[in-house]
Amino acid sequence: MSAESGIPTFRGAGGLWEGYRIDEVATPGAWEKDFKLVLEFYNQRRRAVLDANPNRGHEILAELEDDFDISIVTQNIDDLHERAGSSNVIHLHGEIVKARSTVDPELIYKLESSEIEVGDCCEKGSQLRPHIVWFGEEVPMIDAAAEICARADFLVVVGTSLQVYPAAGLIHAAPLDIPKFIVDPNIPQNTGVQNLKAIAASASTGLQQLKELLSEFDD
């Protein structure tokens, strides 16, 4: 969804993320082994997010709120949906513009700068960490996301291989008989999903096509 804004997708060639192995920067074990490296890695990612702007795809989703009750469930950790104007966004994998306590996951703070420094602590005195769901951690918003999908009148999936769980399973939480759309340059094969229409295009181009298709639902 955010690739057109210049934010790299999570996994690059060889399973690397921006030149790092996932187990070096995106697991609880990585934090325990070298939390300074993890902090700097996410500080770099945060600076990139703050320098980026929403793309046309983000804007189209925000514009659809004029005609539909839109809920966005995203695996992305950036805030580009919010900055584009979307009002109801669930971040399954956390938010890079926030930090949280390492001893109390309920203590979450909106960052005032691009950095989390060594020695930045929560009110209980523990080092702050990125507010990110790492591999090996529970996805706390997955149940809320599944409830939204279960109530949907139509479902749109943008920019995903439908291979990363538990998020990939959300499409199966939607009612079988509702219209479903997938927007991606590389459409996954053999999804086993009923009533699924494929739009083989980038987020911006594909969502413009989708917006035109959805005009028939606007009553």
- pLDDT digit string, tens, across residues 95-154: 999 999 999 999 999 999 999 999 999 999 999 999 999 999 999 999 999 999 999 999
Predicted local confidence at residue 219, as pLDDT: 54
Name the residue with higher pLDDT: 16 or 184. Answer: 184
Domains of the chain are 3-217 (3.40.50.1220)
Per the CB < 8 A criterion, the answer to whether 87 and 94 are in contact is no
Known catalytic residues? 93
Place of tokens 């079988």: 176
Predicted local confidence at residue 13, as pLDDT: 47
pLDDT tens figures, 62-105: 999 999 999 999 999 999 999 999 999 999 999 999 999 999 99
Sign of CA dihedral 46, 50, 53, 58: positive
Per the CB < 8 A criterion, the answer to whether 181 and 156 are in contact is yes
User: Rounded distance, CA 48 to CA 65, Å?
Assistant: 27
Sign of CA dihedral 146, 148, 154, 159: negative
Mean pLDDT of 147-174: 89
This prediction's pTM: 0.91
